[in-house]
A and B are shown apart, each in its own frame.
Chain A
Amino acid sequence: MSIRVRNVSKRFGEFAALRGVSVDIAPGSLTALLGPSGGGKSTLLRIIAGLEQPDEGSIEIDGIESTTLPPQRRNVGFVFQHYAAFKHMTVYRNVAFGLEIRKRPKAEIRERVQELLALVHLEQFADRYPSQLSGGQRQRMALARALAVEPKVMLLDEPFGALDAKVRKELREWLRRLHDDVHVTTVFVTHDQEEAMDVADEIVVISDGVVEQIGTPDDLYDKPASDFVMSFLGPVTRLEGELVRPHDLDVTTSAENGAVRAIVSRVVRLGFEVRLDALANGEPVSAQLTRAHAGRLDLREGAEVWLRPTPGASVLPSTTGGSRQPDSDGALDGDRDGLVDRDERVGRLSVSTLRPGPHRP
């Protein structure tokens, strides 16, 4: 059950949530829409579900032109960040809702609901009300409810966003296993790159209403198409005007071919790894090495080191200009270290993309 999104644009008043987005989602895949808040990923998901109408472009689900179909007739399962549990119905009735709407025979409904409740481990909670469940249980109920009608595609909007860290980790492993069992084409929205890399087969990076890159988690990490993707997916630092991951920097105490001389400004031990902050030609840079390696080099403040990207590392020229690029003045010139912090970038980005208009978290 594939999904084809073609040139979709959507505006909320002055705010352009999506600008000419095209995405193909393969049948049976588990795809993450990843990007900073306000970047348009939730809007895209809601347009696929028919909960929002695109201003331009088209949506095709399972080969059927669906752009103008109401949500009732798209046969998609939708899971909301805040569960959208029907509060006045028991867990059983929640899950049975879609089947009752379809007027299936009572016996069939009972059998199917029991089966789904077993799948999401909520058998013993059938007669409870949503208010008597934990957040994780409610979200599993919402998943069972969406699965009950055998949707062609499952769409999950920040499904774990409202849960605490431990439950979130459990649930995403569980989602991965569920997808392996059920094999329904699944698209989920997240702003957590770790979650996307952990769960998805395919990641679509969306920012500022446009698709930045589409690929497998490995593709994105190893061959980022832009410095935005590179810095969104993990920590980056800058050496001689190039973006590189801190763990991809080779650190030596003697001059090597192509290496850059730097003076150590700080050595931080973080459990099994060591972070090295240094100044190369007055510019802060940050490297990450193992504890053993750092011990061998005998690093201390004020020492002289040579840095260069390890062969095969992903390196991008750090272009400047435009709000989506790391600024030459801002984060990199920081007093702390040479690390371009992802969260900091996200924060800065959301400020620049938040214009007046309805806010779509």
Chain B
Amino acid sequence: MTRRLLRGLALVYLFFLLVLPIGLIVWRTFENGVSPVWQSLTDPSVLHAFRVTAIVSIVTVVFNTIFGLGAAILIVRHQFPGKRVMSAIIDLPMAVSPVIVGLALILVYGRFEPIGGWLDDRGLQVIFALPGMVLACLFVTLPFVVREVVPVLQEVGTDQEQAAWTLGASRVRTFRRITLPAIRWALGYGIVLTLARALGEFGAVAVVSGRIVDKTQTATLVVEERFQNFHQPTAYAASFALAAIAVVIMLVINGLRPKEDDR
């Protein structure tokens, strides 16, 4: 009886929180059939925004995968002064609001700041351009790969790697053939989380991008802009597209979850 009540409560909660809002977006998107949706999504500015999102997300995933792997190995396998501080700093983006991240980046890389000015003199505009947006996404997605890989790396231990060394495998080979396969699920999970977060990032990117239509506008920014300007159909269509991508990513996450046999 209690169990049924709890289950009912949970379902009602999820319904009003998740299912109803997202369902309504789908409903509103396809209210007038498929062709207006197609029209909205093929609007050059919308297409451009999705392209910008894709570029920023992919660059973010590449950099943070490399950094995340390196940082995880450093944290688990090496002793060095400042290790605890580094571990704490990596978690910081979880706690800091993305808007603050954006403002902080402007303070460092803005055109009228020392570092930003120096870069600008050499032809690299960071703020109100792609580099700044990538930096913002890198910042907010920093912890995902590290936090997924660290516990698995700890659990795997060093025995297998050392066994590979005694069998003649170099460090690089051992990493490729022993370490990487052992952490592949965790790494994949971290990458997918990073990608999902980068695709949906709004706050930090809104601050550093300057929201320049057809230049630095991303998919989430285009949704907001069209919504504010009463272009509801386009806003709903773009939202639907983003939500659909998120669902696909979620399915990938579930597919990546290791089966019992693999453990």
Interface residues of A (CB under 8 A from B): 49-51, 70-74, 76-78, 80, 82-88, 97-98, 101-102, 129, 131, 142, 145-146, 148-149
Asked if B75 lies at the interface with its beta carbon under 8 angstroms from chain A, I say: no
4 more contacts with CB within 8 A, not counting A80-B162, A85-B160, A131-B261, are A82-B159, A131-B263, A145-B163, A149-B167
Name the one of A85, A87, A146 contacting B166, with C-beta atoms under 8 angstroms: A146
Nearest chain A CB to B179's CB is how many angstroms away?
11
Is the pair A51, B162 in contact by a Cβ cutoff of 8 Å? yes
Is the pair B159, A80 in contact by a Cβ cutoff of 8 Å? yes
Asked if B178 lies at the interface with its beta carbon under 8 angstroms from chain A, I say: yes
Report chain B residues within 8 Å CB of A129.
261
Is the pair A149, B162 in contact by a Cβ cutoff of 8 Å? no
Asked if B164 lies at the interface with its beta carbon under 8 angstroms from chain A, I say: yes
Is the pair A76, B182 in contact by a Cβ cutoff of 8 Å? no
Q: A80-B159, A82-B159, A101-B173 are in contact. Are A51 and B166 (CB under 8 A)?
A: yes
Nearest chain A CB to B36's CB is how many angstroms away?
49
In the bound complex, what is the Cα–Cα distance between A87 and B258 (angstroms)? Answer: 13
Is the pair A77, B159 in contact by a Cβ cutoff of 8 Å? no
Asked if B165 lies at the interface with its beta carbon under 8 angstroms from chain A, I say: yes
Closest to A85 in B: B160
Name the one of A50, A70, A80, A101 contacting B167, with C-beta atoms under 8 angstroms: A101
In the bound complex, what is the Cα–Cα distance between A84 and B164 (angstroms)? Answer: 9
Nearest chain A CB to B42's CB is how many angstroms away?
44
Name the one of B162, B168, B178, B261 contacting A102, with C-beta atoms under 8 angstroms: B168
Report chain A residues within 8 Å CB of B165.
50-51, 70-72
A-B contact count (CB 8 A): 63
Asked if B123 lies at the interface with its beta carbon under 8 angstroms from chain A, I say: no
Asked if B181 lies at the interface with its beta carbon under 8 angstroms from chain A, I say: yes
Does more than half of chain B's interface fall in helix, strand or loop, or is it mixed?
A: helix
Is the pair A80, B163 in contact by a Cβ cutoff of 8 Å? yes
In the bound complex, what is the Cα–Cα distance between A86 and B160 (angstroms)? Answer: 6
In the bound complex, what is the Cα–Cα distance between A50 and B262 (angstroms)? Answer: 31
Report chain B residues within 8 Å CB of A102.
168
Closest to B162 in A: A51
In the bound complex, what is the Cα–Cα distance between A85 and B164 (angstroms)? Answer: 10
Name the one of B164, B168, B182 contacting A88, with C-beta atoms under 8 angstroms: B182
In the bound complex, what is the Cα–Cα distance between A76 and B169 (angstroms)? Answer: 13
Interface centre among A76, A88, A102 (most CB of B within 10 A): A88
Report chain B residues within 8 Å CB of A77.
166
Closest to B79 in A: A358
Asked if B170 lies at the interface with its beta carbon under 8 angstroms from chain A, I say: yes
Is the pair B167, A97 in contact by a Cβ cutoff of 8 Å? yes
Report chain B residues within 8 Å CB of A83.
159
Nearest chain B CB to A257's CB is how many angstroms away?
59
Report chain A residues within 8 Å CB of B170.
72
Report chain B residues within 8 Å CB of A73.
168
Nearest chain A CB to B99's CB is how many angstroms away?
43
Is the pair A72, B169 in contact by a Cβ cutoff of 8 Å? yes
13 examples of A-B residue contacts, CB within 8 angstroms: A70-B165, A71-B162, A71-B165, A74-B166, A78-B166, A82-B159, A87-B182, A88-B182, A101-B168, A142-B163, A146-B167, A148-B167, A149-B167
Closest to A80 in B: B159
Digit string of B177-188 for contact with A (CB within 8 Å is 1, else 0)? 110011000000
Is the pair A84, B163 in contact by a Cβ cutoff of 8 Å? yes
Digit string of B4-26 for contact with A (CB within 8 Å is 1, else 0)? 00000000000000000000000
Nearest chain A CB to B180's CB is how many angstroms away?
10
Closest to B260 in A: A131
Report chain A residues within 8 Å CB of B159.
80, 82-84
Q: A82-B159, A84-B159 are in contact. Are A97 and B164 (CB under 8 A)?
A: yes
Nearest chain A CB to B112's CB is how many angstroms away?
51
Nearest chain B CB to A50's CB is how many angstroms away?
8
Closest to A77 in B: B166
Report chain A residues within 8 Å CB of B261.
129, 131
In the bound complex, what is the Cα–Cα distance between A347 and B140 (angstroms)? Answer: 51
Nearest chain B CB to A64's CB is how many angstroms away?
16
In the bound complex, what is the Cα–Cα distance between A142 and B167 (angstroms)? Answer: 11
In the bound complex, what is the Cα–Cα distance between A240 and B200 (angstroms)? Answer: 84
In the bound complex, what is the Cα–Cα distance between A50 and B162 (angstroms)? Answer: 10
Is the pair A88, B173 in contact by a Cβ cutoff of 8 Å? no
Is the pair A78, B168 in contact by a Cβ cutoff of 8 Å? no
In the bound complex, what is the Cα–Cα distance between A71 and B263 (angstroms)? Answer: 28
In the bound complex, what is the Cα–Cα distance between A74 and B164 (angstroms)? Answer: 13
Is the pair B168, A76 in contact by a Cβ cutoff of 8 Å? no
Report chain A residues within 8 Å CB of B177.
97
Nearest chain A CB to B226's CB is how many angstroms away?
48
In the bound complex, what is the Cα–Cα distance between A98 and B164 (angstroms)? Answer: 8
What are the 3 tightest A-B residue pairs by CB atom distance, in nearest-first order?
Answer: A84-B159, A98-B167, A84-B163
In the bound complex, what is the Cα–Cα distance between A72 and B171 (angstroms)? Answer: 9
Report chain A residues within 8 Å CB of B167.
97-98, 101, 145-146, 148-149
In the bound complex, what is the Cα–Cα distance between A146 and B167 (angstroms)? Answer: 7
Is the pair B160, A84 in contact by a Cβ cutoff of 8 Å? yes
Closest to B166 in A: A78
In the bound complex, what is the Cα–Cα distance between A87 and B161 (angstroms)? Answer: 12
Nearest chain B CB to A229's CB is how many angstroms away?
31
In the bound complex, what is the Cα–Cα distance between A131 and B262 (angstroms)? Answer: 9
In the bound complex, what is the Cα–Cα distance between A148 and B169 (angstroms)? Answer: 14
Nearest chain B CB to A127's CB is how many angstroms away?
13
Report chain A residues within 8 Å CB of B163.
78, 80, 84, 86, 142, 145
In the bound complex, what is the Cα–Cα distance between A142 and B160 (angstroms)? Answer: 11
In the bound complex, what is the Cα–Cα distance between A203 and B159 (angstroms)? Answer: 26
Closest to B262 in A: A88
In the bound complex, what is the Cα–Cα distance between A72 and B169 (angstroms)? Answer: 6
